[in-house]
Amino acid sequence: MGLLCLLLGLSIVAQVRQGDDALEGATQQELVRLLDESGRHASALEVENAELDRTLEALRSGREGDVAAQNAAEDRLEDLEILAGTAPAQGRGVVVSIADPEATVRASTLLGVVQELRNAGAEVIQIGQVRVIASTSVTTGPGGSLMVDGTPIEAPYVVRAIGDPSVMEPALRIPGGAADSVAGDGGTLAATADDMILIEATVELTAPEHSRVVK
């Protein structure tokens, strides 16, 4: 320990001497800049020190820390359940209604609407009574009807999406985007913002057959 302290002292002295030599020829502007950088660095260290103090206090609290960690884990689990589609969700968003009087709207067009909502930040989506997740498919069934994950849906096709309506609604109306694609197929798209959208449809997750978690 004595040797380490000696080496640390010599290192500090050397750095101070180097700093003095470097500052001898510095201009007033450079000195002000160095002082400002030192102040910012000190502020950053104070913030980091405060965070470390809070972490230390949480660790010292024992059981209280365990409870806090458990609550955080439960909150994270709820978020993952919503994203995976295994739990209902509610929040503000948009309700999209697609009229298809001639049954000419294609599956790819409806899928494009869903993708446009995702790109605009939709967190939860439901088409008709079917929850949309990462593996959801939109296909054409017998007789030309549209199907979502194998479930037939009837026009008007209602898409509920939870997210920021001020972003999603304009995104659907971008020239050449979702609304124009629906119109090109002979349908019409209407989107309405809503402060409280309830999505109750859920899915059951299946165990992966080919993939495993890397540990």
Q: What angle do CA 165, 170, 172 make, to 5 degrees?
A: 100
Does residue 147 lie in a domain region?
yes
Instruction: Say what the pLDDT of residue 52 is.
Output: 81
> Which pLDDT tens digit goes with each residue over 16-42?
454 444 455 556 666 656 666 667 667
Does residue 25 lie in a domain region?
no
Does residue 28 lie in a domain region?
no
Domain total of the chain: 1
Q: Is 24 exposed, middle or buried (0-12, 13-18, 19+ CB in 10 A)?
A: exposed
The torsion of the CA quartet 144, 149, 151, 157, rounded to 10 degrees, works out to -70
Closest-CA residue to 93 (of 184, 19, 164, 12): 164
Instruction: Say what the pLDDT of residue 57 is.
Output: 77
Instruction: Say what the pLDDT of residue 54 is.
Output: 80
Instruction: Say what the pLDDT of residue 3 is.
Output: 47
Higher confidence at residue 102 or residue 67? 102
pTM above 0.85, yes or no: no
Give the number of C-alpha atoms closer than 13 A to the C-alpha of residue 212, restricted to the C-beta side. Answer: 2
Does residue 77 lie in a domain region?
no
Does residue 157 lie in a domain region?
yes
Mean pLDDT of 72-100: 86
Does residue 154 lie in a domain region?
yes
Give the number of C-alpha atoms closer than 13 A to the C-alpha of residue 129, restricted to the C-beta side. Answer: 5
Higher confidence at residue 204 or residue 110? 110
Does residue 9 lie in a domain region?
no
> Which pLDDT tens digit goes with each residue over 149-205?
999 999 999 999 999 999 999 999 999 999 999 999 999 999 999 999 999 999 887
Does residue 135 lie in a domain region?
yes
Q: Find the domain containing 117 and state its range.
A: 89-199
Instruction: Say what the pLDDT of residue 28 is.
Output: 65
Q: What CATH number is given to the structural domain containing 129? A: 3.30.70.1880
